[in-house]
Copies of this chain bind each other. A is one copy, B any other.
Amino acid sequence: MDFKKSQTIYMQIADFICENILSEKIKAGDKIQSVREMAASIQVNPNTVMRTYSYLQEQEIIFNKRGIGYFVSDDAAQKMKNIKKEEFIQSYLPELFKNMDLLGIDFGDLEKIYRKQSNGSH
């Protein structure tokens, strides 16, 4: 795992886990890697992973069973989708459309790029 320097490591780990939940690689009720395991496998300090897990627990995306480990919450995927969708529509998209406007890109251009990029990834 390699990290961008533009964002904090612990947040990138959180995003990584969230994506795995959204794409159902890990599901509700699953135990996730222990702090130490994760730290070793991505070559990061355990404290940093601890920070990620604390953050995700706060968001109620994962929960802790004492002495056993962290587990994915029941409604984690759905909850995340709702939160992120809302945020996406309320904050991200207006920003997008404003930028398109300023840069002189219209919706047709966007669609062309979309078709091209989604073909590339299939």
Contacts and interface: CB of A to CB of B under 8 A. Distances in A.
- The A interface is mostly helix, strand or loop, or mixed, namely helix
Contact of A105 (B88, B96, B107): B88
A18 to B, nearest CB: 8
Contacts of A88: 99, 103, 105
A71 to B, nearest CB: 14
Interface in A77-95: 81, 84-85, 88-89, 92-94
Copy number of this protein in the oligomer?
A: 4
Interface residues of A, number: 32
A65 to B, nearest CB: 10
A55 B108 CA distance: 34
A105 B85 contact: yes
A28 B111 CA distance: 32
Contacts of A117: 93-94, 97
Across the A-B interface, give the 3 residue pairs with the lowest CB-CB distance, nearest first. A22-B102, A85-B103, A107-B114
